[in-house]
Amino acid sequence: MKKSVDQLVLYPPAKINLHLRVLNRRPDGYHNLETIFVAVDLRDELKLRRTTGGGIYLRVENGGVPKDSSNLCYRAAALFLKEGGAKGAVEITLKKQIPAGAGLGGGSSDAAFTLCGLNKLFGKPLTEKQLHKMAAGLGADVAFFLRPGVAIGRGIGDQLEYIDVNWKFHVVLVWPNLKISTRWAYEELKIGLTADENYRILDSRILRGLDPHEFSNVFLNDFEPVVFEAYPRIAEIKTSLRRLGAFFAAMSGTGSAVFGLFDEEKKAHEAAEFFYDQADVWVVRPVLSSEW
């Protein structure tokens, strides 16, 4: 029987993309993009336990994600044990709340928190730079969740510029129980090898002073036309959120979750009620960088 040595309980948050522009396809097959990540207070529960012995033991509750070695938490733990030279076994219990295949980054967040949590449990053998490199190797969004908040993501999403903002709004998240393949979305986008020379790169100085009510004039998601054509229901959700009073609404990532931003919490809950019998819906708030 394994003897418990130490444990942590962590709550990885979801994210939304206020903006997502795919600039060009790289020779290595990946895409250069520019996005704005915002962490939001919809969270999974992640329990990490360091034990004697060896191996990785994973238990997943509430389904929707792999329960074997292909799970991002498992892969993160295996990479940490290898790169950190850590000795011992790891038990992982993951309770899912963030839906998979929704564009909310749940798997990436779980992986990042696994890396950070294990680094703490094993006495911090790895530096922040090493953790960032490992996170980027696991997935484009993983590095952001090493320090959730608000950040501009460039490159494949792993080149991060965190920004301190004072945005205050309530977020209605609507997930129509559809899973969108990120690979399919990129294939349908058919981006060439050259970037749009007329596209102006986001300036963090402008973003810091940007009023959320101006988001519609600045932000867009290149995947919306592709996904909306294939899944009209997702387009309908965005339209409904605007009609219900959201001052900004967009699909997150490659979908299928859509979010609407509201000034008043009461209005947000009233809008959420509209979707209760047709989709999963949450009213959450942004988690700003200053809170970490």
* Active site amino acids: 15, 141
Contacts of 46 (CB under 8 A, 6+ apart): 9, 10, 11, 12, 73, 92, 93, 94, 95, 110, 113, 114, 117
Nearest to 18 by CA among 198, 191, 269, 210: 210
Contacts of 74 (CB under 8 A, 6+ apart): 56, 58, 68, 92
- Contact 183/139 with Cβ under 8 angstroms? no
Contacts of 280 (CB under 8 A, 6+ apart): 99, 174, 175, 176, 177
Pairing of strands 89-95, 55-61: parallel
221 DSSP 8-state letter: B
Cα separations (Å) of 74 from 31, 60, 118, 208?
26, 11, 12, 37
- Contact 262/247 with Cβ under 8 angstroms? yes
